[in-house]
Structure 1
Amino acid sequence: MTDDPSLQAESKPSVRRVEWGFASFAILWSLWLVGQVARDRFWLTGLCFYIPSPVMAAVGLVAASVLGYRKNGRISTLLGLMTLAPTLMVGFVENHWSRPLAEASAGPSVRLVHWNIAYGVWGLAGVEQELVRRRATIYVLSEVPLPYDLTKLAARLGPYHVAVRMGSMAVIATGQLLDPTELVNEKNLKVNSVTWEDGGQPLKIFAVDATSNLLVARDPHLRRLVSLMKQHHPDLVAGDFNAPRRSRSLCPLPDGFAHAYDVAGQGWSATWPVVGPLYAIDQCLISASILPTKYELWSNRFSDHRLQELDFIPRSATERESR
């Protein structure tokens, strides 16, 4: 490496800094690649999977540009080639930039909002104001503080809204919320089920909250969630999964399920942290009984998570059978 004439002209400490910098990036790039191939199959590969592609792309591009400016051509070119992989992942795999065409269907649209409100530590008044502004039919909230008067919040959201709390999660909706059940209530995974009914086809909703502890492997919990989805056939699954959308158990999903972002969203898909989102860890999954029309993510200063918003039309039994 030091045979390059441009490097020989530099001092030895400067050459060593370039070599160590390149070696460090190469190691990090190798770990990132392991994560992209194995994803969260094992706990250790899961840690590699959580190395953010946007960070890898940004660091590589900056380093390649600096070295190119300083006429370290060979290393600059090599860095540029290595950076190509995470750049393509960001641009064409982890995000897409046009919204898929929505299917035509009759019927009124329903809006579901999921939001991790971080126990209100960023300002409960602001949280409530933002929820009111969304004008949703169904709200699924993660990390709801105790104590907190959900009845008053439901009244603020609309005259026909009712609320159900299940541990640290809550569902607020118009009409009726029937059979609230804590299917899993453990330290590292919570899966709650409730049936929403408002004069039309009843919809079963799963509200999910998984641990953020990096010492806990994600895949076993995600496989358990998928098993419950196959067993109970929910129409909607929403929550803070603390696992990327491309996790092994979430990509692909069981037959009949899809990510709302993939079928009705566009743009930057990461949901955390709000300041420079890098991880798509808040998920909204839909079954064949749901016709999505639009999925969007919104940032504000009242939580460290972005808010998920899904507009959809419940499919009739005839539409479902024809698919």
Structure 2
Amino acid sequence: MIFKFIKGLYFVLNIAIILALLILHFVIKDSTYEWSLIFYPFPLPVIIGIVVGLSIFLGKRRKYNLILAGILLLIWLAGSFRFTFAEPISEKDLEVVFWNTSREHHFEDAVAQYGSFPDVMVLAEASDTDFSRLQALYPQYYFYKSKRELSVFSKHPMTIVSDNISKYNTSVVHFETTGIHFYAVDVTGSKDVPRHWELDFVDEQIEFGDRTLVLGDFNLPYESLFFKEIKTHFNHWFSSKGNGFRETWPWGLPLLSLDHIWVSKDLDILDSKKINSLESDHEMIKTVIQR
């Protein structure tokens, strides 16, 4: 009798945990600062793992958990996994690369990781400090070191329009090259700073016009409510032309999409890729834009 009671109690607890996680992920999300602290650590792959783990002690009832896990897996794959074909690319098209180096690497490491010099490369947390050395080494190219931890490289002449930092150290560098406006972004990852404050700051910096790219480490998953304004005006680099899993963190595991390139809807995305490695906990990301 006691054993049956414990089994029944566990089944009820199992349902309660799963319902709470599903409501969190699909409804509540990061609607408040307090909920965000729970939402971010429980992406859908983690929830699927919890559902499967809970099924171990359910006996004959485990099939319900496994069916639900299968459904959630399909939902996750539909949102995360892409299989697309690249469009023909010409020399005049623009290769754009972003990488959070995790303070372990510098510009030349990033070029080696990518395999060549892209048209535009933005690095977060790069270890380069002597940009005059880089400029002397590559006099035909253009470099900019932001007030904080963003580094910008361009094959083409560029103009730095602004370099602004929020009260909580979110950095946005607005630069222009080849007739396209770029906003390089590095959102603070501090747990005691509400993300919506920082995304409000980012949105304030952006002129939501044509011929615009916004790229960087947003420290926010694609599913976040705070991307509403950006999603209204831009296409997502990977959702449009990627292959494989969209998530960029951590260490190649498909858990969270923290690094993004957003492309204004007047520009055609020809190809998008993640360059996989274990050199950083963030994946290097790349897109090619038709000019």
TM range, smaller chain? 0.7 to 0.9
- 2:160 corresponding residue in structure 1: 179
What TM-score do you get using the length of structure 2 for normalisation? 0.84
Tell me whether 1:97 sits opposite 2:97 in the alignment.
Answer: no
Q: For residues 210 and 125 of structure 1, do their structure 2 counterparts lie closer, same or farther at Cα, with a shift above 3 Å needed?
A: closer
RMSD of the TM alignment (CA)?
Answer: 3.2
**One-letter amino acid of the structure 1 residue matched with residue 101 of structure 2:** I
Q: Name structure 1 gaps, 5 residues minimum.
A: 315-323
Tell me whether 1:39 sits opposite 2:19 in the alignment.
Answer: no
CA contact (8 A) 1:299 1:305 kept: no
CA contact (8 A) 1:116 1:305 kept: yes
- 1:257 corresponding residue in structure 2: 234
Of 74, 93, 99, which residue of structure 2 is paired with 1:109?
93
Q: Name structure 2 gaps, 5 residues minimum.
A: none
- 1:80 corresponding residue in structure 2: 66
Q: For residues 176 and 111 of structure 1, do their structure 2 counterparts lie closer, same or farther at Cα, with a shift above 3 Å needed?
A: same
The structure with more radius of gyration: 1
Pairwise CA distance, 1:223: 3.0
Q: Secondary structure at the match of 1:253?
A: helix
CA contact (8 A) 2:107 2:126 kept: no
What TM-score do you get using the length of structure 1 for normalisation? 0.77
Distance (whole Å) between structure 1 residues aligned to residue 287 and residue 136 of structure 2? 22
Q: Secondary structure at the match of 2:205?
A: helix
- 1:162 corresponding residue in structure 2: 142
CA contact (8 A) 2:25 2:44 kept: no
Distance (whole Å) between structure 1 residues aligned to residue 235 and residue 242 of structure 2? 12
Distance (whole Å) between structure 1 residues aligned to residue 172 and residue 129 of structure 2? 21
- 1:149 corresponding residue in structure 2: 130
CA contact (8 A) 2:252 2:283 kept: no
Pairwise CA distance, 1:20: 4.8
Q: Secondary structure at the match of 1:290?
A: coil
Tell me whether 1:291 sits opposite 2:265 in the alignment.
Answer: no
Pairwise CA distance, 1:173: 0.8
CA contact (8 A) 1:226 1:254 kept: no
CA contact (8 A) 1:100 1:263 kept: no
Task: Give per-residue Cα distances to partners, 1:149-180, cap 9 Å, x unaligned.
Answer: 23444677x66321001121011011212134
Task: Give per-residue Cα distances to partners, 1:83-139, cap 9 Å, x unaligned.
Answer: 34532331112x13322775x89872211110001112xx54983453461431110
Pairwise CA distance, 1:310: 0.7
Pairwise CA distance, 1:19: 5.1
Q: For residues 116 and 165 of structure 1, do their structure 2 counterparts lie closer, same or farther at Cα, with a shift above 3 Å needed?
A: same
- 1:140 corresponding residue in structure 2: 122
Pairwise CA distance, 1:301: 2.2
- 1:246 corresponding residue in structure 2: 223
**One-letter amino acid of the structure 2 residue matched with residue 169 of structure 1:** L
Pairwise CA distance, 1:45: 2.4
Of 304, 307, 319, which residue of structure 1 is paired with 2:281?
304
Distance (whole Å) between structure 2 residues aligned to residue 26 and residue 141 of structure 1? 43
CA contact (8 A) 1:118 1:142 kept: yes
Q: For residues 165 and 154 of structure 1, do their structure 2 counterparts lie closer, same or farther at Cα, with a shift above 3 Å needed?
A: same
Q: For residues 182 and 243 of structure 1, do their structure 2 counterparts lie closer, same or farther at Cα, with a shift above 3 Å needed?
A: same
Task: Give per-residue Cα distances to partners, 1:241-294, cap 9 Å, x unaligned.
Answer: 000112113246354411111211132111111142411011100113421111
Distance (whole Å) between structure 1 residues aligned to residue 215 and residue 227 of structure 2? 13
Q: Provide runs of 4+ in structure 1 moved above 6 Å.
A: 104-107
CA contact (8 A) 1:295 1:310 kept: yes
Higher mean alpha-carbon deviation, 83-92 vs 188-197, is at 83-92
| Identity within the alignment, % | 19
**One-letter amino acid of the structure 2 residue matched with residue 138 of structure 1:** V
Task: Give per-residue Cα distances to partners, 1:204-253, cap 9 Å, x unaligned.
Answer: 11010111122322123223322432467661111000001121132463
